[in-house]
């Protein structure tokens, strides 16, 4: 009997087809999200579990795994929903899908930057509501991007791809990262490195969060740091909701401490804090940074390669270390 691969969500058709050809796979045809009970049942039965960001693989789940479960192949880059330390202690290999959604997620960040600074969603809503009376010299004014400062927190693949896009819009690129990127790359991007995140924040017109969510980056944009932002500055988040203190962000919008936000990710997805919905200066999208046909198929192909290599007895390239 071939090892059982259980997939928790419906994946693009071509990906599922290839999985059926290669593996003894159990797919999720109706795409009903697995409950904790379903996940526990799956880890008791599967040899490989293919997860997504919507599956919380906590200790509660991992403590129930049967010895057969040897791999969690995540469909996505972020693995903050998986208790990596417990997985390692259980001898489970965890993989993800880096590199194939970089461009799309950077596009999304750029879209939020453009959209919020030029009040695109607000204008569209006004027009659809029949409230647009006439062109006005003083109506719907936003902020010009050229010569403004963009501060990127987390200069990995997506941060760099965003920087290149933003540069062509005339933004000055600044960044804070665990480590300075290499000089050649920094020069190519034309980016300025700040060792002090606090100091960088005080000088930026736009701040974009592009770091992964880890215990170290949780609430990296804390209430104190949000308070350091310029009054006319915008915050963009396309990574994970928990890198921002969301309650503090709502406070900052209510108190007009910052100019606005562009968010694709939230603290309790998909349950958005209803207070966020009150702000015209909040451009909100439903976690769709990697939502292109191309990215979602490429993510599936990565999962297939990782699982195949693993089941063939080799070490997959996209192993995530705890």
- Active-site positions read 240, 269, 287
Task: Provide the token pair at 41.
Answer: 């049942």
CA distances from 80 to 14, 213, 238 (A): 27, 6, 14
CA–CA distance, 248 with 211 (Å, rounded to integer): 19
CA distances from 218 to 76, 214, 243 (A): 19, 6, 4
Return the number of the residue (83 or 122) whose C-beta is nearest ligand DGY: 83
With beta carbons less than 8 A apart as the criterion, state whether 292 and 104 touch.
yes
Task: Provide the token pair at 4.
Answer: 């059982």
CB of 53 to ligand DGY, least distance (A): 3
Residue with the closest Cβ to ligand DGY? 76
Return the number of the residue (186 or 246) whose C-beta is nearest ligand DGY: 246
Return the number of the residue (78 or 260) whose C-beta is nearest ligand DGY: 78
CB of 51 to ligand DGY, least distance (A): 10
With beta carbons less than 8 A apart as the criterion, state whether 121 and 285 touch.
no
| Of the residues 87, 101, 200, 228, which one makes contact with ligand DGY according to CB under 6 A | 101
Helix 102-117 vs helix 157-168: crossing angle, to nearest 10:
50
Contacts of residue 32, Cβ cutoff 8 Å, sequence gap at least 6 = none
- Cβ count near 115 (within 10 Å): 20
Near ligand DGY in 279-308, by CB under 6 A: 289-290
Contacts of residue 269, Cβ cutoff 8 Å, sequence gap at least 6 = 241, 287
Residue keyed to tokens 């310029």: 230
Confirm or reject binding of residue 248 to ligand DGY (CB under 6 A): no
Return the number of the residue (75 or 234) whose C-beta is nearest ligand DGY: 75
Q: Taking CA 265 as the corner, what is the angle to CA 263 and CA 267, rounded to the nearest 5 degrees?
A: 115
Residue keyed to tokens 């990262």: 177
CB of 269 to ligand DGY, least distance (A): 10
CB of 268 to ligand DGY, least distance (A): 15
CB of 272 to ligand DGY, least distance (A): 16
Return the number of the residue (54 or 281) whose C-beta is nearest ligand DGY: 54
CB of 97 to ligand DGY, least distance (A): 7
Near ligand DGY in 109-138, by CB under 6 A: none
Return the number of the residue (220 or 252) whose C-beta is nearest ligand DGY: 220
Range list of β-strands (E), the chain: 4-7, 24-26, 48-51, 71-74, 93-95, 149-153, 172-176, 191-193, 206-209, 234-237, 260-263, 282-284
Return the number of the residue (101 or 163) whose C-beta is nearest ligand DGY: 101
The dihedrals phi and psi of 144, each to the nearest 5 degrees, come to -70, 140
Please state the separation of Cα 110 from the chain's center in Å.
Answer: 14
Near ligand DGY in 24-83, by CB under 6 A: 53, 76-78
Interface with ligand DGY: number of residues (CB under 6 A): 7
With beta carbons less than 8 A apart as the criterion, state whether 321 and 87 touch.
no
CB of 121 to ligand DGY, least distance (A): 21
Q: Residues interacting with ligand DGY, by CB under 6 A?
A: 53, 76-78, 101, 289-290
């Amino acid at each position: 009997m071939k090892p059982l691969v259980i997939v928790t969500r419906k994946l693009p058709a071509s990906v599922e087809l290839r999985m059926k050809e290669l593996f003894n796979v159990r797919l999720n045809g109706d795409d009903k999200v697995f409950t904790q009970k379903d996940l526990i049942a799956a880890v008791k039965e599967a040899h490989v579990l293919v997860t997504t960001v919507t599956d919380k693989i906590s200790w509660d789940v991992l403590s129930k795994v049967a010895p057969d479960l040897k791999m969690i192949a995540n469909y996505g880059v972020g693995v903050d929903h998986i208790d990596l330390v417990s997985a390692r202690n259980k001898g489970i290999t965890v993989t993800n899908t880096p590199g194939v959604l970089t461009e799309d997620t950077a596009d999304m960040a750029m879209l939020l930057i453009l959209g919020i600074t030029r009040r695109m969603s607000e204008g569209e809503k006004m027009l659809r509501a029949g409230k647009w009376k006439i062109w006005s010299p003083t109506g719907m004014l936003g902020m010009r991007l050229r010569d403004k400062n963009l501060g990127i927190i987390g200069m990995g693949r997506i941060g760099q791809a965003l920087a290149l896009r933003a540069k062509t819009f005339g933004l000055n690129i600044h960044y804070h990262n665990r480590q300075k990127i290499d000089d050649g790359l920094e020069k190519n991007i034309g980016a300025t490195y700040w060792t002090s995140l606090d100091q960088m924040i005080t000088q930026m017109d736009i701040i974009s969060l592009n770091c992964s969510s880890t215990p170290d980056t949780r609430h990296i944009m804390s209430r104190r740091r949000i308070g350091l932002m310029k009054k006319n500055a915008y915050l963009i988040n396309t990574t994970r909701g928990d890198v921002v203190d969301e309650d503090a962000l709502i406070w900052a919008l209510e108190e007009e401490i910052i100019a606005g936000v562009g968010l694709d990710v939230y603290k309790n997805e998909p349950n958005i804090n209803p207070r966020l919905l009150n702000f015209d200066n909040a451009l909100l999208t439903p976690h769709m940074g990697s939502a292109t046909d191309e990215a979602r198929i490429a993510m599936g192909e990565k999962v297939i390669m990782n699982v195949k290599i693993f089941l063939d007895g080799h070490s997959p390239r996209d192993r995530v270390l705890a």
